[in-house]
Structure 1
């Protein structure tokens, strides 16, 4: 992936070029920004792999902007590298039923993919769900001022 790096308000911004656009990251200096860009790319690749979506074809010939430069960043990712548990284990970790895990997956609140006949759920999405600590029952309606 080519990234545009440039100074911006005391930090170094790192923004993907071309078809990989749509987001970006930053760092305290050039090395930190490039490291953050590699993490950003790894997350993007993991999301595409989990969703069974092809990555956009790479494109080249981008020009630097904002007085910065273009730097190439590469990562190696495979679904097997993603820390994950089975859907049944995810249910136990979350303290919910397997049916509820299926609902959370369908609502895209948990990241998952099929590995043969098993449904795998990423540990990161389980940890994020636990950190949100949603309350049991229906959410309370917020009063609307008229």
Structure 2
């Protein structure tokens, strides 16, 4: 999928160039104008991949913006695919998490792990596995009051 987004690139008072996506929250920067535009592409790619991982389309800020900081509006584009997201199979995810494949399937269904299918194979994003490991969920079932909340 190809995504496009406009960014305003303008001189940063502290040096370099600031870059803001038009119509969206966020920002990035670069030491040179060219580096700032490259950072805009990186920003777009990261956010488009995050949307793709969630199963959503990237909601851009639209086109046709005028500069609001006295800079230049540039349009950047990038191509993203599910295969660009670092992922492992459900069986590999189970091994990494120290749980059964049935538990991985349950975590995927409830949204605790980001996953998608490639043919008959369930792929699980490495980021969601690493986030789960870092969160250090407790062993066993949640208490009834927490489960009902």
TM over 0.5, shorter chain: yes
Cα deviation digits, residues 83-141 of structure 1 (max 9, x gap):
211112111122223344345435544322222332211223334444x26264489xx
- The counterpart of 1:33, out of the listed 18, 30, 36, is 36
SS at match of 1:46: helix
- Cα 1:107–1:78 change in 2 (3 A) is same
The residue that corresponds to 2:88 in the other structure is 85
Say whether the 8 Å CA contact 1:6–1:65 is kept in structure 2: no
Paired residue secondary structure (2:80) = coil
The alignment status of 1:4 with 2:8, answered yes or no, reads yes
Structure 1 70/135 Cα, relative in aligned 2: closer, same or farther at 3 Å?
Answer: same
Match of residue 111 from structure 1: 114
- In structure 2, the CA distance between the partners of 1:34 and 1:103, relative to structure 1 (3 Å rule), is farther
Q: 2:136 aligns to what? A: 134
Q: Distance in 1 between matches of 2:13 and 2:105?
A: 44
- Give the gaps of 5 or more residues in structure 1: 140-146
2:19 to 6, 14, 38: 14
Structure 1 runs (4+) deviating above 6 angstroms are none
- Root-mean-square deviation (CA, aligned residues, Å) is 2.8
TM-score by length of 2: 0.71
